[in-house]
Amino acid sequence: MKRIAVLTSGGDAPGMNAAVRAVVRTTLFNGKECFGVRRGYEGLIDGDFILLDRAAVGGIIHRGGTILRTARSPRFKELEGRRQAIEKMKEAGIEGLVVIGGDGSYRGAKALDEMGFPVIGIPGTIDNDISGTDDTIGFDTAVNTALEAVIRLRDTASSHDRLFIVEVMGRNAGFVALEVAVASGAEYVVVPEISLSIGRLCEHLNYSHRNKKSHTLIILAEGVMSGEEMRSKLSDTGGYEARVTVLGYIQRGGTPTSKDTILASRFGAYAAECLFLGKSGYMVGIINNRFVLSPLERAWTEQKALSQELIGLVEKLSV
């Protein structure tokens, strides 16, 4: 294999550029060529390729977003679209592909693998909902971005005896919400993986107010309900004045943390090496700080579990 390509797909995540850089630099180190695919699978079908050299990826290691951009591609869901993508890669002499993204991106990668084209996946999503790896690219940055906002909100909440419901991203997974809740000292966390009892939550708010807590923070994962919907469901706030803050897409942007930058760099280098060794149909991951390879389909066939220790810690430390 002398020439490979790399693309970013799905939602952007801080650290994707560091992963792209690592794929390119590792490829060059091995005396081979690497192309970037612009606009994800849509660009793959159109043959929107650019040869990436050392200069092309210079200075991008700390940039958020993705220099390759990303886009939805209904055409790629069709067999003809995937055939066109493979044909375009073969015309360009591309013999393998690295796909950086989440479970939706992996479904596309798996389809290419089943058609005989070598593919390796890198988990890039702030949601951290990919089984087969302890962490995904962008997760740590998203948690720290949200945490900084929550710390600022706590100052206002404490000054006014307020309840703040902070809605964070995470789609149908509570990893971001849970870690933000623990790190911010929040009194309550609401995640999709655990059934919500509004009655119990109201009792908790009353308990906090009776114990003269000057404020209460609830961290809400967006996959459960909106912050406004939660506020409307709270028949009793325990005496607190309730406010809602939606952090939204600010969690997806910005400079990646050192942890995400290093993780992305390690993933990118490992993914390229795996392709050169003839591996295909796998995603790279890290468990207990050791590299692992898992089948791509694990991303959508196996649900990643939240830490029961952290769940218990939120309740234990909110007394």
Amino acid at 114: E
Amino acid 83: pLDDT: 97
> CA nearest 118: which of 280, 4, 1, 5?
280
User: What is the dotted CATH code of the domain comprising 140-253?
Assistant: 3.40.50.460
| Catalytic site includes residue 127 | yes
CA 267, CA 310: separation in Å to the nearest integer?
26
Q: Residue 202 — very low, low, confident or very high, per pLDDT cuts 50/70/90? A: confident
3-state SS string for 197-216: CHHHHHHHHHHHHHCCCCCE
> CA nearest 294: which of 131, 139, 116, 175?
131
3-state SS class at 10: coil
Q: Looking at domain 3-138+256-301, which CATH architecture does it have?
A: 3-Layer(aba) Sandwich (3.40)
3-state SS class at 30: coil
Amino acid 239: pLDDT: 67
Phi first, then psi, for residue 2 (nearest 5°) are: -110, -15
Amino acid 161: pLDDT: 66
Does this chain's domain 3-138+256-301 share its CATH topology with 140-253? yes
Question: By percentage, how much of the chain surpasses pLDDT 70?
Answer: 95
Residue corresponding to tokens 């989440």: 102
CA 198, CA 206: separation in Å to the nearest integer?
12
Q: Tens of pLDDT along 264-281?
A: 999 999 999 999 999 999
Domains of the chain: which residue ranges? 3-138+256-301, 140-253
Choosing from 12, 48, 103, 127, which is the catalytic residue? 127
Amino acid 158: pLDDT: 67
- Which distant-in-sequence residues (6+ apart) come within 8 Å of 62 by Cβ? 18, 255, 256, 261
Amino acid 167: pLDDT: 96
Amino acid 197: pLDDT: 83
Q: Are 303 and 297 a contacting pair, CB within 8 Å?
A: no
Amino acid 198: pLDDT: 83
The answer, yes or no, to whether residue 319 has pLDDT greater than 80, is no
Amino acid 124: pLDDT: 96
Amino acid 172: pLDDT: 87
